[in-house]
Amino acid sequence: MSDPHPPRKKFHHIGLRATEPQPDESYVASFRCWVTNPNRHPQHVEYLRYEPDSPVREEFMDSPHVAYEVEDLAPHLAGKDVFREPLDLGDPPFATAAFTREHGLIVEYLVFRPGRAWHDQ
Q: What burial letters (b/e) apply to 78-104, b meaning 16+ CB within 10 Å?
A: eeeeebeeeeebbeeebbbbbbbeeee
Work out the pLDDT band at 28, boundaries 50, 70, 90: confident
101 sits in which H/E element: strand 93-102
Sketch the domain layout of the chain as residue ranges. 10-112
| Burial environment of residue 50 by CB neighbours within 10 A (0 to 12, 13 to 18, 19 or more) | buried
In this prediction, residue 29 carries a pLDDT of 85
Q: What is the pLDDT of residues 48-90, one digit of tens each?
A: 999 999 999 999 999 999 999 999 999 999 999 999 999 998 8
pLDDT at residue 1 is higher than 60: no
What class has domain 10-112? alpha beta
Cα-only R_g, the chain: 14
pLDDT at residue 3 is higher than 90: no
Average pLDDT, the chain: 92
In this prediction, residue 118 carries a pLDDT of 81
Contact by Cβ (8 Å): 49, 20 = yes
N residues, the chain = 121
